[in-house]
Amino acid sequence: MEQSPSCLKLFGSWASSYTHRVQLALKLKGLHFEYVEEDLTNKSPSLLLHNPVYKKVPVLLHLDRPIVESVIILQYIDETWTDHPIMPIDPHERAIARFWCHFADDKLGPAAGAVFGSSGEEQKAAVCQVHENLKLLEAELREGAFKGRRFFGGDKIGILDIVLGCGSYWLVVFDEVMEVKLVDPEAFPLFHAWLRDFEEQKEVNEIIPAIDRLLEYARGIRQLMLSLKDTTSSTTTTTATATTVATNSNNNVVIGSGTSV
């Protein structure tokens, strides 16, 4: 279906994994779109108009009508442009994909954010939580719903690969920035292999920012948070401030502790 560039417009942020999800889906579908980079510290009136409830990226405009929340946007794209489907056909498989998309956003994402926003004993506990979540995914890959698959979607990447994949690269970034070991290839061999395969996909390579850029970004935010910690007395205030700093700077990046997409 021929689409003029003005038909699709995406408001996003270069470091937002939620934005990357939508960019990847559009790329997989061969859809052209206009991209608008949002300054999340100074959101445009358009963004606030089109997402009045959450005021966040990404927002997809299709024929001037907004769709918000990345997993909802992905399903919208899949239902509107039916070539190269990203959702499974079977209803039970679709339910499993949706379930794990929620898991990514309600459990794994916030757990990773908690690692980033903490240090010392608190961070150790947060790392354990990420490991618990990865264990569940590893089990599904080893002997559960995704047994024997190269990708969660089967031979090709599907919605769950997009949702988990655009975000999991942060785990690797965090490993380097904070010297933690989140994606341990020995503990999570299948997840590790899946992530490597995902990142090697041509379309994924073209979307995800260079690792150096992500590292620099994460280091900057982390340093800011730690310096705030040093100058603030109460732990509660520190955590809240750190979270706010991370969220305001990264709005919708998995670093933030918010759970909404």
Partner 1 sequence: MADKVVLLSSWASVFGLRVQIALAEKEVDYEFREEDLFDKSSLLLESNPVHKKVPVLIHNGKPVCESSVIIQYIDEVWTKGPSLLPKDPLQRANARFWTDFIGKTIYPCGSKIWRNKGDAQVQAAAKKELIGILKQLEGELGERPFFGGETLGYVDIALVPFSRWFYTYETFGRFSIEKECPKLMAWVRRCNDRESVSKVLPDPHKVYQRNCGLKKRLGLE
Binding residues vs partner 1 (CB under 8 A)? 53, 62, 65, 67-69, 72-73, 75-76, 79-80, 91-92, 94-95, 98-99, 102-103, 136, 259-260
Contacts by residues 85-91 (CB-CB < 8 Å, ≥ 24 positions apart)? 85/158, 86/25, 86/28, 86/153, 86/157, 86/158, 86/159, 86/162, 87/158, 87/159, 88/153, 88/154, 88/158
Residue with Cβ nearer partner 1 (132 or 216):
132
CB of 178 to partner 1, least distance (A): 26
**58 prior amide bond cis, ω within 30:** yes
Residue with Cβ nearer partner 1 (72 or 125):
72
245 contacts 225 by C-beta, under 8 angstroms: yes
* Residue showing tokens 């700077």: 249
CB of 144 to partner 1, least distance (A): 9
Which has the closest alpha carbon to 195: 221, 160, 222? 160
**Token reading at 183:** 């994606």
CB of 15 to partner 1, least distance (A): 24
212 contacts 220 by C-beta, under 8 angstroms: no
Report the distance separating Cα 248 and Cα 121, nearest Å.
25
Residue with Cβ nearer partner 1 (81 or 194):
81
**Token reading at 138:** 């590893």
CB of 78 to partner 1, least distance (A): 9
Q: Quick one: CA torsion of 72, 74, 79, 85, rounded to 10 degrees?
A: -150
Residue with Cβ nearer partner 1 (90 or 176):
90
Residue with Cβ nearer partner 1 (53 or 210):
53
CB of 217 to partner 1, least distance (A): 28
CB of 257 to partner 1, least distance (A): 15
- SS3 state of residue 187: coil
Residue with Cβ nearer partner 1 (95 or 125):
95
CB of 61 to partner 1, least distance (A): 11
49 contacts 65 by C-beta, under 8 angstroms: no
Residue with Cβ nearer partner 1 (94 or 229):
94
